[in-house]
Amino acid sequence: MSLTRERTVDDAVSSAIEQIKAAALRDPHDFNKVEKIHEICQCFKLSDPTLKRLMDAMLASMEKGLEPETASTAAVKMLPSYVRAVPNGTEQGDFLALDLGGTNFRVLLIRLVGGECKMEGRIFRVPDRIMKGTGEQLFDHIAQCLADFMKDHDLMDREKLPLGFTFSFPCKQEGLTCAKLVNWTKGFNASGVEGEDVVNLLREACHRRKDIDIDVVAVLNDTTGTLMACAYLENSCQIGVIVGTGSNACYMEKIDRIKKIKGEMDHEADGLPDEMIVNTEWGGFGDDGAMDFIRTKFDEGVDACTINPGKQLYEKMISGMYMGENVRVVLEHLARANLIFGGDFEAISVPHSFPTKFVSEIERDLIEDEEKSFSKTMTILEEIGIENVTPTDCANVAYVCSIISTRAAHISAAGIAVLLNRMQKRFVTVGVDGSVYRFHPTFSKLLDEKIDDLIEGDIEYQLMLSEDGSGRGAALVAAVATRMAHEKASKSS
């Protein structure tokens, strides 16, 4: 069970919704509309038996991703990270981190001293011409920025510092220091990089400069970094989750159960732990139809208008990139049915006119506005361009936001519960990061409450906000890799 479980969120939202219905009773016409809206939104309410059926399907998909015969076609890829341990508190020294995952990238210096983590960093921009130029130009730019940072921090004449490289693009990882780019995303299209080892490209760019000497000891994605950053503060962290613009999870798995890498390593003889972090890439769950039984016509409509129809279906029901649009298509349907906004559907019919931040702001308004004046909600709807908005409209919009975000939290909880049930460890800390988890007013508690409902036996867990997995986490992976290399060397000497 959760150590922090509090049954407050459902109660607060339910109370607010009951007030809405009570107010609507004064006008039978409004009450009938409220009843119809609730009926239409029933498809988003998932019972615990339905969520457990979803968990069974997800577990089956994960097992396909771990098996050599089915891994290549599995919807949930279950990628080995080759990270074999979390920080134990003895890591010491200076470490560099590179964090590339978008148009900005960061260089960081992390100092681990006496159990404390001190961090200095600088943000650099990747110009559009370099994002879409050659791979050599891109990595030369990264090396230039790294050199500038090292000069600023008097690191040029130091001994080689271990470096962790967070590269948040789809990669086929073949070792702790080998990751081949599968395909570019996020607007990048640098030529000559797809299919190549990005660590090797970084090393070559540094070598071309001749003025910086680095030791890349690990390449990772931001989800692994999330787990590691949390584990530095809480050693029991064994799961890392991101619920932000996208969604993903990783967890510590027994190497014997990662059957697709059988034969790659002899973990019994190498003196290292018998576990490894697996990056699930769970956003792709359901791409093979395994989740069709909970998808709605609204989900299908949102998916059809994305740049990757039929892909990342689980992520599209959870993440910040899609939550606002999931709400908008329902509101458009209700407006066209003359159930809200007096039938005025023109403004709400504009795709992506209802960003996820509006969902958070409206739900906060629902909970915190004791007078139920919906002043913030009214302002948002008027900003979109909807005219003559009534308090009942605001209440109904808040209800739709609550239904969609609750489903997202419950589906996320199902995924985390699958991992907790699979691991069967007595106590696990789950490190979580991402804008939805951080900023949505009820998501974190809804997530916690539903995990508690879905886990089996006497497992205990806690959710913990993970700070800066892509930066701090990269350096910590480098620190752990360095510690383990020293331990292995001392054992063999």
Q: Return the active site residues.
A: 186, 222
**Rama region for 466: left / alpha / beta (φ>0; ψ in -120 to 50; rest):** beta
Q: How far apart are CA 473 and CA 227, in angstroms?
A: 8
Strand spans (E) along 223-314:
237-243, 247-254, 275-279
Looking up tokens 């302002």, which residue turns up? Answer: 379
Under a CB-based contact definition with an 8 Å cutoff, are residues 139 and 202 in contact?
A: yes
Q: How far apart are CA 208 and CA 202, in angstroms?
A: 10
Looking up tokens 């576990």, which residue turns up? Answer: 275
Between the alpha carbon of residue 202 and those of residues 102, 136, 158, 185, 205, the distances in Å are 17, 9, 19, 19, 5
Q: How far apart are CA 213 and CA 117, in angstroms?
A: 23
User: What is the greatest pairwise CA distance in the chain?
Assistant: 84
Dihedral through CA 124, CA 129, CA 135, CA 137, nearest 10? -70
Cross-strand bridge partners of residue 181: 171
